[in-house]
Amino acid sequence: MMTTRCPAEVSEVQALIADALPRVQRVFDEQLASDLPSVTRLCAHVGRYRGKMLRPTLVLACGLAEGRREIGREHEVCAAVCEMVHMATLVHDDVLDEADTRRRAPTINRMNGNESAVILGDYLIAGAYHLCSTLDTQAVALEVGRVSMTLCAGELLQLSRRGDFSLDEATYLEIVDRKTAALIALACGLGARCSGADAGDGGSGGGGGVSRFERFGRELGIAFQIQDDLLDLTGRAGDLGKPTGKDLEKGKLTLPIIRHLASATPMERGRMLRLLESPLTRREELAAELARSGAIDSARQTALERVERGKRAIEGVEDSPAKALLLLMADAVVDRTR
Ligand code: FPP
Ligand code: MG
């Protein structure tokens, strides 16, 4: 589970979630079980990518914040489904990024090649659809299908703009909203939905029911990706357990660079474009330049603002220890260093 410093009121709900996560894990493992040792071996390796369990934790915490005292089978299935979709995207993403390490473990593409990684990602996504189709309601499968399309569309948009130094902030946010925030929004919305929240906006237009949790998740997701992108520029591979500088290497412009270029003098712009031409050897120089111009701080400020917007989205949710945990998790998204 995501580690957050917890006041006493929250520790009980944290314990409830910590108790449920191994059950989520069991659902996950059972769904992927295969009679073929080669498939089992690859799935076991994916288990090493498990990190903070952010998405499953959000499903369960939003479920509890929506007024449920306990976590039911539906919450656990949705939590496992969200984690499975997430794992599928990571396995595919590492192919696209030609990444060799994730969570300090070799990537599937490095160990078994791109072909195996692509098909394993397909196995995971197919497993996720199959699993959510076991639920009585069709609503979850419909949402999971819709959001998976959104993730792919976000990734396709990003691919189409690789190496494009004219990428603007609105398009960057569009990419982030789709490739990352949509799944985190789904996790939050499904948690609330499984606790009986109204699928609409509560009729108020201002957002009740499921939609306020989705908006909370969407803002958190955007903040999460901005922070992830900052760490790609300024973090250390040893701390992150994955390579840094991948965005630069793959020609993905991220928020600090977009902001820097937007306000740069022609000379600063020329210097930045030259640094972007050899990003691997000049990452530190590049990050220092972005820090000097205030672009790093400005991106970080945007991540913090998104967290605040997320918190405001659930203002109307009745106060509870689960809601307090959600607010703590929101802060943790931008405080993390890995
Ligand atoms: C991580 O980005 C990647 C994503 C958030 C989304 C990737 C989505 C796909 C590859 C589409 C495939 C979708 C399905 C449904 C299988 P990043 O490279 O910035 O993060 P990282 O630093 O953790 O690699
Ligand atoms: Mg990547």
Classified as helix, coil or strand, 172 is: helix
Rounded Cα–Cα distance for residues 3 and 206 (Å)? 32
Q: Are 90 and 54 within 8 A, CB to CB?
A: no
Per-residue model confidence (pLDDT) at position 99: 93
In this structure, which amino acid lies at residue 198?
D
> Which residue is closest in CA terms to ligand 1's atom 11?
152
For ligand 1, say whether the CB of 152 is within 6 Å of any of its atoms.
yes
The CA-based angle 41-47-49, given to 5 degrees, is 120
Classified as helix, coil or strand, 197 is: coil
For ligand 1, say whether the CB of 121 is within 6 Å of any of its atoms.
yes
Query: What's the CATH fold of domain 8-331?
Result: Farnesyl Diphosphate Synthase (1.10.600)
For ligand 1, say whether the CB of 177 is within 6 Å of any of its atoms.
no
Q: Which atom of ligand 1 is nearest to the CA of 91?
A: 10
Per-residue model confidence (pLDDT) at position 207: 47
Q: Which atom of ligand 1 is nearest to the CA of 99?
A: 24
In this structure, which amino acid lies at residue 139?
A
Residue 82 in tokens: 């969200």
The series of mean pLDDT values per 10 residues for the chain, 338 residues long, is 65 94 97 96 93 95 89 97 98 94 94 97 98 96 98 98 95 98 98 90 58 98 97 90 88 96 95 88 90 96 98 96 96 85
φ and ψ of 102, to 5 deg: -145, 130
Residue 234 in tokens: 């300024």
For ligand 1, say whether the CB of 148 is within 6 Å of any of its atoms.
yes
User: What's 103's DSSP letter?
Assistant: T
What would you report as the CA-atom Rg of the chain, rounded to the nearest whole angstrom? 20
The domains of the chain are located at: 8-331
Identify the H or E element spanning 135: none
For ligand 1, say whether the CB of 254 is within 6 Å of any of its atoms.
no
Q: Are 4 and 332 within 8 A, CB to CB?
A: yes
Per-residue model confidence (pLDDT) at position 5: 56
Can you say whether the dihedral through the CA atoms of 263, 153, 215, 55 is positive or negative?
negative
Q: Are 185 and 215 within 8 A, CB to CB?
A: yes
